[in-house]
Amino acid sequence: QVQLVESGGGLVQAGGSLRLSCTASGRTFSNYAMGWFRQAPGTEREFVAVIARSGGVTSYGDSVKGRFTISRDNAKNTAYLQMNSLKPEDTAVYYCAAVSGSYYYAPTDADAFGSWGQGTQVTVSS
């Protein structure tokens, strides 16, 4: 399995921005679709965004559309989540995940992903 490490979380005021990074090791990064999920206390894990191996296929959860952007840099073995116009309800632990598949495969179901990072806390104050 690929190993994943998230970074970039922190405390930000509502309306602010953060960029999360997910760096992969152990396998060929370009073989994996990359996803971001989040989980707030007492809630289920929620799909945030996914990007296919190709980089040309992306999908977003309804609550983040128009505010968050997922991207990847295969040369750096890193996926990113740019988060703008943050709201207090975006507060959660954010996890990146990886799944191998076809060039345009971009699942939104957490059960599809076989590798997960340890998570990074994002807190948005009002």
Taking alpha carbons only, the member of 71, 35, 74 closest to residue 56 is: 71
Answer yes or no: is pLDDT of 1 > 90. Answer: no
Q: Which tokens sit at 87? A: 């709201």
The pLDDT assigned to 27 comes to 86
Strands of the sheet containing 68-73, edge to edge, are 3-7, 18-25, 78-83, 68-73
> What gap in Å lies between CA 73 and CA 5, rounded to an integer?
15
Structure confidence by residue, pLDDT tens digits, 60-87: 999 999 999 999 999 999 999 999 999 9
| Mean pLDDT across 5-33 | 96
**Rounded to the nearest 5 degrees, what angle is found at the Cα of 24, between the Cα atoms of 90 and 63?**
20
Q: Minimal CA–CA distance to 119: which of 16, 36, 1, 14? A: 36
32 contact partners, CB below 8 Å, separation of at least 6: 2, 24, 53, 98, 99, 100, 101, 115
